[in-house]
Each structure stands twice: as structure tokens, then as C-alpha cells.
Amino acid sequence: MEIEPATLGKSRLFARGWSWLKALPARKFKKVVEAAKSIKQLGQDDPRRVIHCLKVGLALTLVSLLYYCKPLYEVFGDTGIWAVLTVVMVLEFTVGATISKGLNRGFATLFAGALAIGTEYFSRLFDRKAEPIVLGVLLFFLATTSSFTRFIPRIKARYDYGVMIFILTFSLVSVSGYRTENLLEMAHHRLSTIAIGGATCIIMSVFVCPVWAGKDLHNLTASNLEKLANYLEGFGGEYFQADPDHEEEGITITASKDDKALLQGYKSVLNSKNTEESLANFARWEPGHGGFHFRHPWNQYLKIGALARQCAHLIEVLDGYINSDIQPPPEIRNKIRESSTKMCLELSQALRALVSSIKTMTDPSAADPHVKCSKTSINDLKIALEAASELENVDLLAIIPIASVASILTEIAKCVERISELVHELSLLAYFKSAATSDQQEPAGSGLHRGSVRPVLDDDSDRTITIIVQATNV
């Protein structure tokens, strides 16, 4: 019975652990529970994360068979370790990132390996003592110049990992080559195990519950526009809702409590630039997938994103007026409530129509009437403001905040109009379905202007081609 002392030790360890846990102050214990909860939340927010982790575990276990299976080990020997290394480094959350890293790694290894072997044979032309000097000088030169290319923005965005692997492989092969006789065989084995590792990663990420960066970018763009729509819809109610019959503050607060979380959603749009850019970079590497073909116009999403951020900046300023100490008197507020609320509603409906068009990948013409209406309500708003200023006993200063709000709303309207134009371009470039063929998800109100729904590739086919040519020239 050899195991008994160990078991005893184990139970003693458990007892100790338990007493340590009990001795923990309640506050610390609470912290641990909270941390555990937030970790659970991470998984619940996006279950694809859990699946990704299982994929990493599975891929690693698979490539470790190169070591565990005797027949495989006899072929590859110790170089099998490079497959393990490749899987850890290459398998990323999205398909695009995995393919990008895999191809970067593959080509960089191939290229650097070939160059290093060439260097090695070149250095062998010199005598044994001069060899390390030649190798060292070449290594220094190559490492310095390739490090510098990592500062070039274009290369940093797409090939940073490749350049790093290039330096890595070149150093490894040229340095270790000095002590290795059968250099070509080693390079061959290493390359094939890296290929096995890379292929495992790419197959795993494309075929087992794939997470497409392109789809994520598409959804992110839609959800960002939706957040702006939420704000605009809420803003009308929030800022103008103070009814002359119920002027108590209490009502404002209860109403705002419900919508607060929804209203604050726009804040995440402000800092979306980096996420969008990296998703677009990864999306370019992805093969076609459900609705997105290989050369899908990913750049167009970046343009829409830039305008969405501009709109979010305007909203950020608008938001300052809700919480401002200086609130306009109710009689002025009432004068312009109708036109402002209508404008906000039209803008948010226009955005919602665009969101639904992006989500269902159908023609975005349903947004056009709302964009048009928001334009006409700019004039209504001006007339209402003029009427407000002609009220008696009204201080001009009291109108300033309202005038500013109106002016910012006008800017937002312009911004939404340009977003709508960009989504129209996107629908042409990405061959969105004509709205007429998909009735199931039509946004409210679009039925009124059925006549304006135009077939995508009919009268506009010339424009389509022009846009595509422009886009590919970029």
C-alpha cells in the first residue's frame, strides 16, 4: 500500500486549504466569487470564446500525436515540436487572424529558411574561422533591416507577424546551421511540421464552429448604427419629455433610469476605430462565407465606421445638454418639442432601416423616405425656433441651449444622410438582395414608398461598375 501516505497528505492538504479558505475575510471571499462570476459572464456573453478554448486544447492534443505516436515520431523526430509551437502561436479567435498568421508563418519560414540555407552555403566558402564572422555580419544586417520594416504602417498592419517569423527563422537556421551537417534535411522536417501545425490550425478554425472576422465586422457596423439609433430615439423622449402638466423632477428621473443603459451604448462607438481596422485586416484573408464573397468591400465598412464615429462625437456633445445645469424654460421647450422629437424619430428610423438592410443584406432604400423626412424637419425645426424666439418675456440666453441642440441635430441629420449614401454604395458593391424579394423583415413605414425601391443591378449597373472600379483602385 504505497499510495496511502500520499492520500493522507492529500486530505491533510485539503483540510488546510479549507481552513485557509474559511480564514479568508468575508470581503476577500466575496471578491473571489465576484471574479468567478465575471469570468462566467465572459463565457455567457460570447459562447464562441469557450468553443475557441476547446479548439485550442483539441488542436494541441492532435499535434502532440506527432510525438506520442511511434510511427509518426520515427518520421519527424524532435522537429515535431515545431508543430506544437505553431499551433500555440497561430490558432487565433477569428478565421482571418488564423489564416493571416498561418500564411505569414508559412511563407516567412519558407523564404527565411531558403535565404538562411543560401547564406550558410555561402559562408562555407570561407574558412571555418571566418564563417561565424560572415554569418554574424549577415545576421546583423538582415535583422536590422527587417526590424525596420515593422515600423512601416502597411506592413505592421498585415505582415508584422510574418516579418517577426522571418527574423526568427533566419536567425535560427543560420545560427544552428553552423553546427548542423544535414541542414537541408533539418529544414525539410521543420518546414513540414510547421505546415502540419499550420494546416491543423486553419482546418480547425475554418471547419469547427468558425468565427469569421468579416461577419463580426459586418455585425459590429450594424450594431454601432443601432446604438446611434437607440440614442436618437431615446434623446427625443429624454430631453423634451418634461410635460408642462408634470413639471416635477421625479418623473424625468424615473424615465431616464429605464433608458440610461440603452442611451449610453453610443459611447462604445467612440472608440471602435481599432477594432474595426483589425477586423477589416483579418477579413481580407478570409475565403467567402455565407453572403460575403472573397473580395467583399471591407473598406466600405471602415468608411461607414468613420462616419458613425463622427455621429457619435456629435451625440457626445448632445448628451452634455441633457445633463447640463442650464435647462431651457418649459414654454420654449414645448415650442420646439414636436419638430425635434419628430426629427430624432426620423433619424433613428432611418438608421434602423439601414441596420436592418445591413443585417438582412437587402437593398437599403427603405431608409430613403426617413432621410428625406429628416431633411424637411430641419426646416420645421428652424420655423419652430423662430416662433419660440418671438414669445414674449423670453430671454435670448434661454434659447441658446435649445438652439445649440437644434444645430447639432441638424449636423447629425447631415451625417446620417452620408451614412445612408455609403450604405447604398455598400449594397451595390456587395450585391445586396433587392428589398422586393425579401418581404419578411421590412421596417415599419417603408411600405409607403414602395415605388422608390429600385432593383440593384438594373438602371444602376453602370454606376455599380464605376464604384467597383474605384474601390479596387484604392
Dihedral of the alpha carbons of 343, 306, 295, 292, in degrees to the nearest 10: -50
Binding residue (CB under 8 A) for a copy of itself from 15, 50, 208, 209? 50
Min dist. Cβ of residue 417 to a copy of itself (A): 14
Q: In whole angstroms, what is the distance from residue 276 CA to residue 127 CA?
A: 54
> Is 43 a binder of a copy of itself (CB under 8 A)?
yes
Min dist. Cβ of residue 262 to a copy of itself (A): 20
Residues 6+ positions from 107 with CB-CB distance below 8 Å? 162
Cβ closer to a copy of itself: 279 or 314? 314
Cβ closer to a copy of itself: 53 or 444? 53
The alpha carbon of residue 81 and the mean position of all alpha carbons in its chain are separated, in whole angstroms, by 33
| Contact (Cβ atoms closer than 8 angstroms) between residue 316 and residue 354 | no
Cβ closer to a copy of itself: 276 or 442? 276
Stretch that binds a copy of itself, among 312-320, 328-336, 443-451, 455-463 (CB under 8 A): 312-320
Cβ closer to a copy of itself: 64 or 438? 64
> Is 121 a binder of a copy of itself (CB under 8 A)?
no
- How far CA 6 is from CA of 1, 2, 19, in Å, comes to 10, 8, 20
| Contact (Cβ atoms closer than 8 angstroms) between residue 229 and residue 204 | no
| Residue 264, C-alpha cell as written in the block | 449610453
For 433, the 3-state DSSP assignment is strand
Q: In whole angstroms, what is the distance from residue 361 CA to residue 229 CA?
A: 19
Which stretches of 266-297 are DSSP H helices? 267-270, 273-283
Binding residue (CB under 8 A) for a copy of itself from 103, 302, 408, 468? 408
> Is 75 a binder of a copy of itself (CB under 8 A)?
no
Min dist. Cβ of residue 399 to a copy of itself (A): 7
Give the footprint of a copy of itself on residues 316-355 (CB under 8 A): 316-317, 320
Cβ closer to a copy of itself: 199 or 403? 403
| Contact (Cβ atoms closer than 8 angstroms) between residue 52 and residue 93 | yes
Binding residue (CB under 8 A) for a copy of itself from 110, 143, 199, 471? 143
> Is 85 a binder of a copy of itself (CB under 8 A)?
yes
Min dist. Cβ of residue 84 to a copy of itself (A): 5
Give the footprint of a copy of itself on residues 54-73 (CB under 8 A): 54, 56-58, 60-61, 64, 67-68, 73
Cβ closer to a copy of itself: 203 or 457? 203
Q: Which helix (H) or strand (E) holds 61?
A: helix 48-63
Binding residue (CB under 8 A) for a copy of itself from 241, 268, 310, 327? 310
Q: The cell 540555407 sits on which residue?
A: 117
For 324, the 3-state DSSP assignment is coil
Give the footprint of a copy of itself on residues 234-293 (CB under 8 A): 270-271, 273-274
Cβ closer to a copy of itself: 180 or 256? 180
Q: In whole angstroms, what is the distance from residue 232 CA to residue 315 CA?
A: 8
Binding residue (CB under 8 A) for a copy of itself from 151, 245, 392, 469? 151
Cβ closer to a copy of itself: 138 or 467? 138
Min dist. Cβ of residue 445 to a copy of itself (A): 29
| Contact (Cβ atoms closer than 8 angstroms) between residue 370 and residue 346 | yes
Stretch that binds a copy of itself, among 12-20, 142-150, 368-376, 459-467 (CB under 8 A): 142-150
Q: In whole angstroms, what is the distance from residue 456 CA to residue 403 CA?
A: 40
For residue 433, the one-letter residue type is K
Binding residue (CB under 8 A) for a copy of itself from 1, 397, 469, 474? 397
Cβ closer to a copy of itself: 395 or 439? 395
Cβ closer to a copy of itself: 208 or 457? 208
> Is 176 a binder of a copy of itself (CB under 8 A)?
yes
Q: In whole angstroms, what is the distance from residue 27 CA to residue 19 CA?
A: 16
> Is 144 a binder of a copy of itself (CB under 8 A)?
yes
Cβ closer to a copy of itself: 162 or 364? 162
Min dist. Cβ of residue 400 to a copy of itself (A): 5
Cβ closer to a copy of itself: 314 or 353? 314
Q: In whole angstroms, what is the distance from residue 356 CA to residue 363 CA?
A: 10
Binding residue (CB under 8 A) for a copy of itself from 9, 17, 136, 287? 136
Four-residue CA torsion sign, 126, 129, 134, 135: positive
Nearest CA-CA partner of 111 in 153, 74, 163, 46: 163
> Is 394 a binder of a copy of itself (CB under 8 A)?
no
> Is 24 a binder of a copy of itself (CB under 8 A)?
no
Burial 62-79 (b: 16+ CB within 10 A, else e): bbeebbeeeeeeeebeeb
- How far CA 416 is from CA of 265, 268, 369, 424, in Å, comes to 17, 18, 13, 12
How many residues contact a copy of itself, by CB under 8 A? 74
Q: The cell 508559412 sits on which residue?
A: 106
Q: Exposed, middle or buried by CB within 10 Å (0-12, 13-18, 19+), for 183?
A: buried
Min dist. Cβ of residue 366 to a copy of itself (A): 28
Binding residue (CB under 8 A) for a copy of itself from 241, 299, 334, 404? 404
| Contact (Cβ atoms closer than 8 angstroms) between residue 399 and residue 332 | yes
